[in-house]
Amino acid sequence: RAPIISGNSLPPGDPQLVSMIVNHLKTQGLFDQFRRDCLADVDTKPAYLNLRQRVDNFVSNHLSNHTWSPHLNKNQLRNNIRQLVLQSGMLEQGVDRIVAQVVDPKIHHTFRPQVERMDSEREGMKGEEEEVGTQEEAEERKEGKSIGKLKDEVLNKDVDPLQSPNEKHHINQKARERLKEGEV
């Protein structure tokens, strides 16, 4: 299968390639759609429920070691707990499991077909653009020949060299109108 971003020579998994693909998906509106699809059912997955329970237990255990007082600095306590949760590594493991349960099943059945369809449409549009370019070039060549014929017609007419600029403009205007109507 052709890569999403054609013309690249970056190996799969390269951060620059990943960034290019994500940016391309964002410009096509697919990234937000994929994110919504994943977040829609994340809270029903066992990995999420398990991680939430583990974090809740961790926080409860940590708070059980502190005695509440009106002078307790809640912000400092909150930041301390946040740092401990991050340092524990439970979030990294939990998120990996969530991705495995939520994202991985959608990759082959939902995301890849949409990305490939988008890529095919983009390739098709590129072909159409080339075709349109070819048609435009043909029309320009035809128009160039027509303009040449019109110039010859105007030059071969019995045109008085002393004709006023207004009369010359009128003849040229008629020639342009004929060109637009496709008479030539």
Helices 46-64 + 90-102 axis angle, to 10: 160
Note the pLDDT tens digit of each residue in 4-23.
Answer: 555 457 888 889 988 888 88
Q: How far apart are the first and last CA of the chain?
A: 48
Range of the domain at 110: 15-141
Report if residue 9 sits inside a domain.
no
- Report if residue 97 sits inside a domain: yes
Q: 35 lies in a domain?
A: yes
Coil vs helix vs strand at 115: helix
Check pLDDT > 80 for residue 122. no
For the chain, percent of residues with pLDDT exceeding 70? 61
Please list, in sequence order, all residues whose beta carbon lies within 8 angstroms of the beta carbon of residue 20, skipping any fewer than 6 positions away.
5, 8, 10
pLDDT score of 1: 44
Task: Give the whole-angstrom CA distance, residue 81 versus residue 62.
Answer: 8
Is 92 inside any structural domain? yes
Residue 180 pLDDT exceeds 70: no
Higher pLDDT, 149 or 108: 108
Q: Does 80 reside within a domain? A: yes
Position 80 confidence tier, pLDDT thresholds 50, 70, 90? very high
- Number of structural domains, the chain? 1
90 compared with 178, residue with greater pLDDT? 90
Question: Does residue 84 sit within a domain?
Answer: yes
pLDDT of residue 164: 52
State the pTM of this model.
Answer: 0.53
Evaluate whether residue 146 is within a structural domain.
no
CA atoms within 13 A on the CB side of 10: 15
Can you tell me the distance from the alpha carbon of 34 to that of 41, in angstroms, rounded to the nearest whole number? 12
Question: Is residue 184 a part of any domain in this protein?
Answer: no
Give the C-alpha distances (Å, rounded to integers) separating 115 from 31, 57, 94: 10, 40, 27
pLDDT for 167 equals: 59
- The residue-averaged pLDDT of 76-94 equals 94
**Once rounded to an integer, what is the mean pLDDT over residues 43-64?**
94
Q: What is the pLDDT of residues 32-50, one digit of tens each?
A: 999 998 999 899 999 999 9
Distance CA 45, CA 153 (A): 79
